[in-house]
C-alpha cells in the first residue's frame, strides 16, 4: 500500500477485555515499531521487529502486552485483560532498513484505545 495502515482507528474496551490492534506496514519495509502515545506526550517505544524477528520488547509495560509479526509483514499488538492505564494511542511505524541512521520512520494514523 501507499502508507502504513492501522486498524481499528478507534477501539473502546471494557476493563478486563482483550484487544488486538493491527498494523499493515509499507511493503518491503524490514523494520516495524510499536509505540504508545499518551495525551500530550511523545511516542513511547514498546517493541521492534526486524522482519519476523522481535529483537526488542523492552518497552512492553507488562506481560499482558504481546506483539507478533509472523510472516514479516503485518503485525498485531495484543493487550490482554485491559486496564484503564492502557488507554492511549498506539502508533505503528515501519522503515526500509534495519538500521535507522538513513531510514525515516513512516507512521500509521494510530489506534486510539479507550478502556472504560
Partner 1 sequence: QQPVQSPQAVILREGEDAVINCSSSKALYSVHWYRQKHGEAPVFLMILLKGGEQKGHEKISASFNEKKQQSSLYLTASQLSYSGTYFCGTEIVLSSASKIIFGSGTRLSIRP
Residues at the contact surface with partner 1, assessed by CB under 8 A: 4, 31, 33, 35, 40-45, 48, 50, 55-56, 91, 98-110
CB of 115 to partner 1, least distance (A): 20
CB of 9 to partner 1, least distance (A): 11
Distance, CA of 111 to CA of 71 (rounded, Å) = 22
Question: Mapping DSSP to helix (H, G, I), strand (E, B) and coil, where does residue 111 land?
Answer: strand
Cell numbers at 12, concatenated: 473502546
Closest CB to partner 1 among residues 15, 99: 99
Cell numbers at 94, concatenated: 515501519
CB of 99 to partner 1, least distance (A): 5
Distance, CA of 34 to CA of 54 (rounded, Å) = 11
Amino acid at each position: 500500500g501507499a502508507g502504513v495502515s492501522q486498524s481499528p482507528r478507534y477501539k473502546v474496551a471494557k476493563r478486563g477485555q482483550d484487544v488486538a490492534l493491527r498494523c499493515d506496514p509499507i511493503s518491503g519495509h524490514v523494520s516495524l515499531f510499536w509505540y504508545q502515545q499518551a495525551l500530550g506526550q511523545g511516542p513511547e517505544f514498546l517493541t521492534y521487529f526486524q522482519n519476523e524477528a522481535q529483537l526488542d520488547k523492552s518497552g512492553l509495560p507488562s506481560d499482558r502486552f504481546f506483539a507478533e509479526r509472523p510472516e514479516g509483514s503485518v503485525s498485531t499488538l495484543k493487550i490482554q485483560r485491559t486496564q484503564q492505564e492502557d488507554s492511549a494511542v498506539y502508533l505503528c511505524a515501519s522503515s526500509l532498513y534495519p538500521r535507522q541512521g538513513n531510514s525515516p520512520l513512516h507512521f500509521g494514523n494510530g489506534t486510539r484505545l479507550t478502556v472504560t
